[in-house]
Amino acid sequence: MCQTCQTFAGILVLCLINSAFLLENGLARTPPMGWLAWERFRCNTDCKNDPDNCISENLFRTMADIVISEGYAAVGYEYINVDDCWLEKERNNYGQLVPDRQRFPRGMKSLADYVHSKGLKFGIYEDFGNYTCAGYPGVLGYLRTDAQTFASWDVDYVKLDGCYAHPSEMDRGYPEFGFYLNQTGRAMMYSCSWPVYQIYAGMQPNFTSIIEHCNLWRNFDDIQDSWASVESIIDYYGNNQDVIVANAGPGHWNDPDMLIIGNFGLSYEQSKAQMAIWAIMAAPLLMSVDLRSIRPEYKAILQNKKIIAVDQDPLGIQGRRIYKHKGIEIWSRPITPLYQNYFSYAVAFLNRRTDGTPSDVAVTLKELGLTSPTGYRVEDLYEDVDYGVLSPQTKIKVKVNPSGKYTY
């Protein structure tokens, strides 16, 4: 028997503990979801000439409104996260951080209150070094003060970058700042850049400590608005999965960086591919896109409830690349429900060829590692097609659209 599935650069779900380290803050039992300014809006501080797109309280209030009104919150996106360039260049006389007085005239507590009034959560950015990556004051020398400041503003999520810092000091500094965050008594998600800066410096990160002290962390380059950038991240996670995968689980996640779906650099098929692979990787889903102008087909990708459910699967097991040959890759992730000690699985088929025609991939469920004698119900999560219950011996033929460098 051969079952044919019409698909994309696509994802199937085939349905039929590993106990996780519980961080002191008790957060991130599934990967965080939300909206983050950086990739789309960068460090645009020119509110005089570009008031609609500059890093300002108005931008974040607007995005919070849209996350609610356009249904993003209803499918799980809950954080509104400020990134770099929100600060004044100097601290105040008490050594405290000060938001830019022109662009955030009502202050960060007011912005947090607004976000909270929508039922959302508020995130902020800082840096472990002397300065942030864009040259604003960093936390070095002010770890306790800044943790207390964020708590006083009712911050829910803190991203700590690593520019202008010595990687050798991060093994001490990142846990210390996390300690001060916890000491405030306010639960704040803690996003670290600790490992990526050590990797750049040729050091081997201590992932045992990172898991204990961070809710999520970056391992690789910042994402850029291009398919080449997405591919480089996919390659890094696939090529290093034996080191990376085991570190993820409820409360502590690998972060391959933002979703750039709906911007300028990805085609429709490439956007579907990013969403699918990020879900397989149990990645944080942090959109960085102008939600005011996103096209409906890209919005639909970001709001695909079934793929979000894969990403948010409560087992928290990160998936792996299980096949790579001649531009075709297969990625697989164990998910719920379990039946008679057999996992269900989400499986993504990725076509990285650029020859312009869909590729047929034929494989039995058993060859994918699916061996339950009772079989699996197979569903295409993009096409919303249910193929019924298939046995491990069933060969499925998947037609995978190419994800080359096209714009259409």
Among 100, 161, 313, 380, the active-site one is 161
Our answer to whether residue 52 is catalytic in this structure is: no
Among 113, 154, 171, 222, the active-site one is 222
326 and 306 in a common domain: no
255 and 131 in a common domain: yes
pLDDT value for 91? 98
CA distances from 49 to 46, 135, 287, 397 (A): 6, 22, 25, 54
CATH code for position 386: 2.60.40.1180
Confidence of residue 23 (pLDDT cuts 50, 70, 90): low
117 and 55 in a common domain: yes
pLDDT value for 21? 31
Q: Which of these three, 271, 291, 316, is where a domain ends?
A: 316
251 and 305 in a common domain: yes
**Beta strand 189-192 pairing with 157-161:** parallel
283-295 average pLDDT score: 98
Q: Which of these three, 289, 316, 343, is where a domain ends?
A: 316
Find the range with the poorest average confidence among 21-30, 51-60, 98-107, 359-368: 21-30
Across the chain, mean pLDDT equals 94
Q: Which of these three, 287, 316, 345, is where a domain ends?
A: 316
CB 376 within 8 A of CB 368: no
Our answer to whether residue 222 is catalytic in this structure is: yes
**Beta strand 79-81 pairing with 121-127:** parallel
pLDDT value for 173? 97
pTM of the model: 0.94
Domain ranges, residue 395 = 321-407
273-278 average pLDDT score: 98
CA distances from 2 to 5, 6, 357, 361, 398 (A): 10, 13, 22, 12, 10
CATH code for position 47: 3.20.20.70
306 and 172 in a common domain: yes
Confidence of residue 235 (pLDDT cuts 50, 70, 90): very high
Q: Domain for residue 6, yes or no?
A: no
